[in-house]
Amino acid sequence: MSRNPYLPYPARIEEAVVENESRDIKTFRLAFEDPGSAAEFRYLPGQFAELSLPGVGEAPFGIASSPTESDRLLFSVKRVGVFTAELHSLEPGAPIGVRGPLGRPFPWERMSGKNLLVIGGGFAFTTLRALIKQVLHPDQRAHFGSLLVIYGARTPGELMYGNELAEWQKRSDIEVHLTVDNAANGWSQHVGVVPAVLEELKPSPKNALAVVCGPPIMLKFTLLSLTKLGFPDDAVILSLEMRMKCGVGKCGRCNIGGKYVCKDGPVFTRQELASLPAEY
Amino acid sequence: MSDSQQIETRLRETAEKLLREKKVSLFLGYEKATLPFRTSPLFLSKPEEVERLAWNPFCTTNLSVYLPRLFKAPVDARAAKAAPPPPTVGVALKGCDIRSVVALLQERQVRRENLVLVGIACPGMVDRRKAEKALGDHQALGAGEDGRGNIRVVVDDGTEITLRREDVVADACLECRSPAPTINDIMIGTPVEGKKTETARLRTAEFESRPLEARWAGFQEVFSRCIRCNACRQACPMCYCQTCIFDQNRPRWIGAGTDLSDVAIYHLVRALHLAGRCTECGACERACPMGIDVRLLGRKMCAEVEDLYGYRPGEAIDATPVLSSFAMDDPQDFVTEP
Amino acid sequence: MTEKLISHTNLERLLERLRERGTVYAPGRDAEGEVALLQWPQKEPLTLEFTNFRQSPKAFFLPQTQTLLRFQDGKPVEASLPSGERYLFGVRPCDARALLLVDKVFLDGDQNDPYYARLREKTTVIGLACAQTMPSCFCTSVGGGPGDGTGADVLAVALDADLLLKAVTAKGEDLLSRAVDLLAEATPAALQEAEERIHAAQDQLAPAATADSDRRLREAYDSPLWETAGQKCLGCGTCSFLCPTCHCFDITDELRGGVGRRVRTWDCCAYPQFTLHGSGHNPRPTPKERWRQRMMHKFRYAVENFAVSFCVGCGRCIRNCPVSMDLRTALKELGA
Amino acid sequence: MPSEWEPRILAFLCNWCSYAGADLAGVSRIQYPPNIRIIQVPCSGRINPFFLLRGLQNGADGVLVSGCHPGDCHYISGNLAARRKFALVKELLKYAGIEPERVQFTWVSASEGGRFAAIVEKVVEQIQKLGPNKKLVKSYER
C-alpha cells in the first residue's frame, strides 16, 4: 500500500526571505531531512502541499518553486492567521512537515506549443512564479511559444520576487509587464489595474492559453477582459483557493459541486468552473 | 372541538389579520410535519396561506430561537448598510417561549417594537421520544388529540391507542412553573395557572444527595454519550453568540472531539454561560440526538440563581440580568479565608 | 452463495465462537433502554426486536475522534492502527449498504485512508434483515431494501424458529464455513419464509421521490425552496452526525509540552465554520447554501461522481431533526 | 509518583489589590509554598469561568482567584459582579462531582501580604490532600 497520506515528510527551514514592503509575505526555502523524501516528492508547477507544524496544524500552500530548480523547494506565505503567524516566527533550522505534492498541476501537455499569457495579482503569484521558472528552463523553453507576463500589485513594494522580475525583464524570451495601483517615486512602469494593462497590450488569443491567479476582484475584471479579447473559456486557466484540511479528497471541506479543489484542482479551466456552483 | 382546535382556529384568524393588515411581514408558527408527534416551524408571509398553521400537542419548538437571527445585522459594515430593515414579526409563543423572548429583550437581541407576541395557553407539549417509547413495538402512523387533551395514535396494525398526556409530555413541561405567557400582545386560549411544581428541584436534589464520586460517575455516564454535534446549542434561543467559543479556531480553545475532558468542559461552560439566562424551555434536551439529559447542570444553575439572588430569568423585560448586577450583601460563604 | 439455518441457541454459540477471535458487538439495550450495538455479551439477552439503532455503525469505521498522528518531542509519527478483529452482528441493511458508499471515498484506490481501511479490514459485518420498518424509512427508493445484503459479509433473516444466514462476501463464506457444526441446511420452506418476511417489510415502505434526483437538483440549484429550508434549519448538525454516509471531518492538533496528537473529528457542512476562509470570506455564507450543499452532495454530486446517491434511506435525519425537516418533502417539491 | 507529586496551582490575581498583596508578601519575605503560578488580571471581574476550567483541563491541580475586598474594587464593582459568577462556578463543580476545593476564591488587599501567604498555604494544603487533578485534566498522550 502507498504511503500514509496524512504523514508529512520531515523537513526544515533553510532560509526565510521577506518578499514585500509590508513584511507580511515571506518565502521559505525548505529542505527535506531525508534524501528519500526529496526523491518521492515529485511535483509540477501548479500543485500545492500542506505545511505542517505540530500543535499548530496544517495549511495548504501553492509550491512557488519549479522542479527545474532541483536545489530548492519554495513556499511564499502571507501572514494572515494562527498558522502563518507561527510559520513567520520560525528561524532557519526549524523543523517543519511537508505533505504532498497535492492537487492537479497546470495542464502542461495542453500548454506545450502554445503562446502563454500569465496574469497575476498581488500575493497570488506564487505558483505562477513556478510556472515561469519551468517554462524558462533551457530544456523547456523551446516547447512553448511566446511568454507574456502581466503582474500587478497595490504598490511597487508589494510585488514579490523583485530580483527575478528585474532579471526576467532583461531577457528576450519573456515579456514582463508590471503594474501598480499607486506608483511611488521612481516607478517608470505601468500604473493601473491589471485588466487595463491587459486590454492595452491586447495579446492575441490565437494558439494561446491564459493562466490567471489573483484576488477575487481582480479575477472578475480580468476574466471580462479576456472574454473581450476573444479568449475562449477553455483557454483560460485558474487556480482556486479554498479552505482545506485533508488535501486528498476525503474531508469534504473544499467540495465545490462534485469536485474537490484539493484533488480535482486547484487548477481548473474557466470552462470547468462554469459548470460548478459559484461556491468559492 | 378540542382546546387545540379552537386555538388553531383563533391562531389562523390572528395571523391572517396581522399579515393582511400588514402589522407584521412575517408570522412564525407551526405546521404539520411528515412524521407523527412532530410539527415543523412555519415562516408565513402570505395571509392566504394561514390554513397551513397548526396548533396541536406537538408544537414543541421554541420559536424564539429564530428571532435573534432575524434581527441580527451583518457584521460587515457595508453589508449592514445594504441590509433591508429588520422585519416586523408575529410569533406564536407558549409560556416558556415567551420567557425566552423576555430574556432576549433584556439582552437587546430582538426589538420589542418589531414584535407582535401571540401568547398561547399551553397544557404541556408531547416529547416525541416518550410517545414513541410508550407505543412499544408499534409504529405510529398518525397522532392527534382527543377531547380531553390526551393523545390518540393510529398505529401500524390499524388500531388506535390513547396515551395519557401527562405520561408523554416533555420533561421541561413536567417541570414547568409558568405555562402562561404572561407578557403578550395577543392572548389565545385560557392561560393555565402555573403550578408551583417542584419536579426540577426534586431531580436536582436527588442527584445532589449522591456522594461526590457518585455524582462524578453520574456526570460521566450522562455526558459520555455526547457526540459533540452542537444540537443543544443550536436549538437554544439564548445561544446566539456570533462565534461560540467552542467554534473559535484561531486558536481552537477546546478540542472538538469526544474526550471526556472536552465534553465535560463544553457542558460545564454552557451551563455557566446560561446561568441566569436559561428559561428552562427544554429545547436543548429535545434537540439532543443522543437523548442525553442535557439540562442536568442547567437545572442546578437555575435553582442556585433563584436561591442565591431571588432571580428567575424571563420574568421582566426591564430587569437587569442577574449576572450583570450584584448586591453588597450577596452571599459569600464560599470565599476562602485563612 | 451459501445459505444456512441457525437456531437462536446456536446463534449465541456462534457469537461466543467469534468472541474467541475478536470483539463482538450485537444489539442490546443501553442505559436508556434504547437498542444499540453494544459489546456482547451484555447482562440482558440478545435482542432482535428493534427497528434500527439510534446511531449508525459509522463510528466503528470513522470514529467521532480519531488520532491520525502522534507528536513525540514535537515530531509526528503515525498513530498505531488497531489490530483486533471485530464482528458486528445485527447491522441493518441500510447501514450496511452505507459502508460501501463511504468506501468509495475512503478507499478510492488512489489514496486510501489507512485508518478507515484498517478498521474496515478488521471488521466482519453480519447484517440483519428488517421485519419492521418505520414511517421515516425509504431504503427501497434509494437502491436498497429490507433484505438487501449489500455491504454486509453475511446477511441474517430472522424467521419464526431460526435465522437464515446468507453469505454475501468471501469473508462471510469463511465465517459460515468455520461454523458448519452450528448450521443446518436451508430448507425451501425457510427460504420461502425469509422471502415473505422481506416482502412484508418492503410492502410497508412508501416510495420517496428520488428518481432522477441529480438532474432535478441540477436544475433546481436556484430554487426558492432552499431559502425556505434555510430559514428553518438550525444548523445543528444532527442530520450529518447521525447519517451513515456523511463522512466530512476536521483535523486539529492538540499539543502540550511536545506531546500531543493530530486528531480528526466529525465535521458538518451545516456549520458556518466548515467553509470559512482565513480571510473571512465564506463561500456558503448562510444556512440556505449549507442545507443545499448537503442535499446536493447526497443526491446530485454523489450521483455525478459515483453513479449512486449517498443516501441509504435510513431516515435518521428525518426522525431526529429538531425542527422536523424532511428531505423527502424537499425532493418531492424540487421535482414539481 | 504521588510521593514526588507537588500540586500546581494557577492563581489569577487582580492587578490593583491581590497582585500587590502577593508582592508585599514577597518584599516582606513572608514564606509561603512555591506551588502557585500567578497570572495577573486587571480585575477579578475579568475572570471568565472558562479560564478556570481551562486551567484545570491543562493540568492545574487547583485554581485560585483573588480580587479586591468587596467595596474596594478599583473599578467600583468588578469584584461584586464576579462574586456571583464565582458562587455559581463553585456550586456547579461540586454538583458535577468535582472537588469544590479545586477552585477557590478570595479577597486580598494590597496591604495584606500576610493574608495572601496564609491563603496560599491553606489552598496548597487542601489540594495536597485531594491529590492530583484527574477529572478534568486532558491527557495528551492518548
Q: What is the structure's pLDDT at A1?
A: 46
Task: Tell me if residue C260 falls in helix, strand or coil.
Answer: strand
CB atoms within 10 A of CB A52: 25
How many structural domains comprise chain B? 1
Residue B23 pLDDT exceeds 70: yes
- Between these two residues, B60 and A184, which has the higher pLDDT value? B60
> Is B210 domain-assigned?
yes
Cβ of C135 and B221 within 8 Å?
no
Q: What is the CATH number of the domain that holds D99?
A: 3.40.50
Residue C279 neighbours by CB under 8 Å, 6+ apart: A80
Q: Which chains touch C (3 or more CB pairs under 8 A)?
A: A, B, D
Nearest CA in chain B to C324: B40
Three-state DSSP state, A262: helix
Which residues lie closer than 8 Å to B111 by C-beta, 6 or more apart?
Answer: B71, B86
Phi, psi of A101 (to 5 degrees): -70, 150
Which of C240, C328, C330, C336 shows the shortest CA–CA distance to C292?
Answer: C330
Q: Is C154 in contact with C18 (CB distance < 8 Å)?
A: no
Contact of D11 with chain B, judged by CB distance below 8 Å, is answered with no
User: CA of B337, closest CA in chain D: separation in Å?
Assistant: 7
Instruction: Check pLDDT > 70 for residue D1.
Output: no
Report the residue from D81, D95, D115 with minimal CB separation from B324: D81
The predicted model gives D132-138 an average pLDDT of 94
Q: What SS3 class is residue D5?
A: coil
What is the spatial distance between Cα B38 and Cα C135, in angstroms, rounded to a whole number? Answer: 13
* Chain A residue with Cα closest to B248: A82
**Domain enclosing residue D123, as ranges:** 9-130
pLDDT at C336: 55
Instruction: In whole angstroms, give the CA distance from residue C232 to residue C290.
Output: 12
Q: What is the 3-state secondary structure (H, E, C) of chain B?
A: CCHHHHHHHHHHHHHHHHHHCCCCCEEEEEEECCCCCCEEEEEECCHHHHHHECCCCCCCCCHHHHHHHHHCCCCCHHHHHHCCCCCCEEEEECHHHHHHHHHHHHCCCCCHHHEEEEEECCCCCECHHHHHHHCCCCCEEEEEECCCCCEEEEECCCCEEEECHHHHECHHHHCCCCCCCCCCCEEECCCCCCCCCCHHHHHHHHHHCCCHHHHHHHHHHHHCCCCCCCHHHHHCCCCCCCCCCCCCECCECCCCCCCHHHHHHHHHHHHHHHCCCCCCCCHHHHHCCCCCCCCHHHHHHHHHHHHHHCCCCCCCCCCCCHHHCCCCCCCCCCCCCC
* pLDDT of amino acid B61: 96
Average pLDDT over residues D101-107: 97
Residue D129 class from Cβ within 10 Å (0-12 exposed, 13-18 middle, 19+ buried)? exposed
Domain residues of chain C, as ranges?
3-203, 213-335
Q: What confidence score (pLDDT) does residue A215 get?
A: 86
Residues from chain A that touch C296, judged by Cβ atoms under 8 A, are: 257, 277
Q: Are C100 and C150 in contact, with CB atoms under 8 Å apart? A: yes
Q: What are the Cα distances from residue C45, in Å, to B94, C12, D76?
A: 44, 10, 65
Residue A37: strand, helix, or coil: helix
d(CA B226, CA B288): 9
Contact B140 C135 (CB under 8 A): yes
Q: Is residue B185 part of a domain?
A: no
> Once rounded to an integer, what is the mean pLDDT over residues D111-140?
95
| A162 grid coordinates | 523583485
What pLDDT sits at residue D32? 94
Reported as a single tens digit per residue, the pLDDT across B273-282 is 999 999 999 9
Whether D72 and chain B come into contact, CB under 8 Å, resolves to no
Task: Report the first-to-last Cα separation within chain D, whole angstroms.
Answer: 20
Classify A57 in phi/psi space as left (phi over 0), alpha (psi -120 to 50) or beta: left
Per-10-residue mean pLDDT of chain C, 336 residues long, equals: 92 95 94 90 89 95 96 87 94 97 91 94 97 94 95 96 95 94 94 95 92 91 93 95 96 89 95 87 91 95 94 96 95 81
Is A1 in the C-facing interface, judged by CB distances under 8 Å? Answer: yes
How far apart (Å, rounded) are the C-alpha atoms in residues B235 and B246?
16
The CA distance from B239 to B217, in Å, is 28
Whether D122 shows a pLDDT value over 50: the answer reads: yes
Query: Can you tell me the mean pLDDT for D21-41?
Result: 95
Burial of B108 (0-12, 13-18, 19+ CB in 10 A): exposed
- Per-residue pLDDT of B177-209, as tens digits, reads 999 998 999 999 988 887 888 999 999 999 999
**What is the DSSP-derived secondary structure letter of residue C201?**
H
Radius of gyration of chain A (CA): 18
The reported pLDDT for the residue numbered C10 is 94
Give the closest residue to C77 by CA, choosing from A6, B310, A175, D111.
Answer: A6
Cα–Cα distance between C76 and B176 in angstroms, integer? 53
Residues B290-304: what's their mean pLDDT?
95
Residues of A in contact with C279 (CB under 8 A): 80
- The C-alpha cell of C209 is what? 421521490
Q: Identify the band that residue D141 occupies on the pLDDT scale cut at 50, 70 and 90.
A: confident
Q: pLDDT below 50 — which residues of chain A?
A: 1
Cβ contacts of B310 on chain D, cutoff 8 Å: none
The answer as to whether D94 is a domain residue is yes
CB atoms within 10 A of CB B224: 12
Residue pair A50/A36 in contact (Cβ under 8 Å)? The answer is no
Neighbours of chain D (3+ CB pairs under 8 A): B, C
Domains and CATH numbers, chain A: 9-102 (2.40.30.10), 108-239 (3.40.50.80)
The interface predicted TM-score (ipTM) is 0.93
Q: How confident is the model at residue D61 (pLDDT cuts 50, 70, 90)?
A: very high
How many domains is chain D partitioned into structurally?
1
Closest by CA position to B286, among listed B99, B142, B129, B132: B129
Which amino acid, C151? G
Q: Which chains touch A (3 or more CB pairs under 8 A)?
A: B, C
Contact B277, B321 (CB under 8 A): yes
pLDDT for position B36:
95
Tabulate helix, strand, coil % of chain D (nearest 5): 45, 20, 40
Q: A186: burial class by Cβ within 10 Å (0-12, 13-18, 19+)?
A: exposed
Domain interval for residue B296:
199-324
